Amino acid sequence: MRAVRFEKTGGPEVLEVVEVDTPEPKAGQVRVRHEAIGLNFIDTYHRTGLYPVKLPCIPGGEAAGVVEAVGDGVTRLKAGDRIAYTGGFGAYAEANVVQADRAVKLPEGIDTRTAAAILLKGMTTEALIRRTYPVKAGDTVLVHAAVGGVGQIMTQWLKALGAEVIATVGSEAKAAKARELGADHVILYRDQGVAAEVRRITGGKGVPVAYDAVGKDTFEGTLSSLARRGLFVSFGNASGPVPPFPPARLAAGGSLYLTRPTLFDYIVTPEELDASAAAVFEVVMSGKVKIEIGQTFTLTDARKAHEALEGRATVGASLLIP
Ligand SMILES: NC(=O)c1ccc[n+]([C@@H]2O[C@H](COP(=O)([O-])OP(=O)(O)OC[C@H]3O[C@@H](n4cnc5c(N)ncnc54)[C@H](OP(=O)(O)O)[C@@H]3O)[C@@H](O)[C@H]2O)c1
């Protein structure tokens, strides 16, 4: 089968199209024939070496398709099931083997392209806005990169919960999109000071919770946007990792909290995985969260896809099609 692989870490040019043996499922695993592969910022962290991986590496931790072979002892899935999965590696390929208890069956109302666009990004949103900090109606929430893959889902889901959303975006065109998604206030964070704008919007109070996956470039602004005892949810590094900082900075900011969550600590058991996925499918099928597949690339164009994602040239979710 065809796959995209890197043998050394580096820029998008290290991604090579290769022919590899189609893997056979071991006990507890299934093989899924991919119809759509989810592109995620974490794939770039693996490629650059920011998050260390074993080399050579077929990147990608999210895809959707049809089960075509089943290993011993699998009862959760059977051949022909439409599924999506997230976690591990090997998604940048025509097929992959995955642990059956790490995959979810797709409901009728969710096609495989939508599934590959929402499983990882949607479950991340679900965990962050319902469990890391249970957002309630009336909360004012700061969301960075609000028209990105995760950002679009988060902005709309927060609005569905009755929150007031302060969105940040990198361009005027993205600002218009953020408003379309329901954001109440939009900050162009490349030109405007985030904390000053947030203080102005909130009458000086600041926000009780801020979701920041931009990392290095937004860290100070996010910290300074929080209300007393507010929660900083730092969940990514699109602009680079946050440098170390002294805990006393949290005291100076008003007895703040900071958490650095990763989705996989919120979908540990099959029950947690199924519940999170079900909540995502439900909010999408209800129409409360609309999914924009902003761009699709062929699998063999994975380099271009990485360039676009890192170049801030994408909106919404991106897919690789095998
Ligand atoms: N912790 C977890 O479990 C978890 C799970 C999923 C995703 N994440 C994180 O969530 C974030 C969003 O992921 P995604 O896949 O949906 O990506 P994405 O938001 O579609 O793309 C990243 C966006 O970040 C913004 N950005 C700001 N500074 C940037 C820079 N220097 N370089 C590149 N982009 C920059 C850009 O939007 P603007 O042009 O509007 O600035 C860009 O479009 C990533 O940081 C990812 O690692 C974390």
> What residue's CA is closest to ligand 1, atom 32?
239
Closest CA to 158 of 176, 134, 180: 134
Closest CA to 261 of 221, 211, 310: 211
pLDDT (mean) for 212-218: 98
Share of the chain above pLDDT 70, in %: 100
Ligand 1 in contact with 149 (CB < 6 A)?
Answer: yes
The pLDDT tens digits of the residues spanning 71-85 come to 999 999 999 999 999
d(CA 242, CA 101): 33
- pLDDT at residue 167, as a whole number: 98
Fold of 2-119+290-321: Quinone Oxidoreductase; Chain A, domain 1 (3.90.180)
Ligand 1 in contact with 259 (CB < 6 A)?
Answer: no
Domains 2-119+290-321 and 136-260 share a fold: no
- pLDDT at residue 208, as a whole number: 98
Closest CA to 273 of 89, 83, 113, 139: 83
DSSP H or E stretch at residue 113 = helix 112-126
- pLDDT at residue 85, as a whole number: 98
Ligand 1 in contact with 151 (CB < 6 A)?
Answer: yes
Break the chain into its structural domains and give their ranges: 2-119+290-321, 136-260
- pLDDT at residue 75, as a whole number: 94
CATH number of the domain located at residue range(s) 136-260 in this protein: 3.40.50.720
- Please check whether residue 137 is in contact with residue 162, taking contact to mean a CB–CB distance below 8 angstroms: yes
Dihedral sign for Cα atoms in the order 228, 264, 94, 46: positive
Cis status of the peptide bond prior to 56, with omega within 30 of 0: yes
The pLDDT tens digits of the residues spanning 129-187 come to 999 999 999 999 999 999 999 999 999 999 999 999 999 999 999 999 999 999 999 99
CA 187 to chain centroid: 21
Could you report how far apart the first and last alpha carbons of the chain are, in Å?
10
Confidence band of 96 (pLDDT split at 50, 70, 90): very high
- pLDDT at residue 173, as a whole number: 97
d(CA 7, CA 16): 9
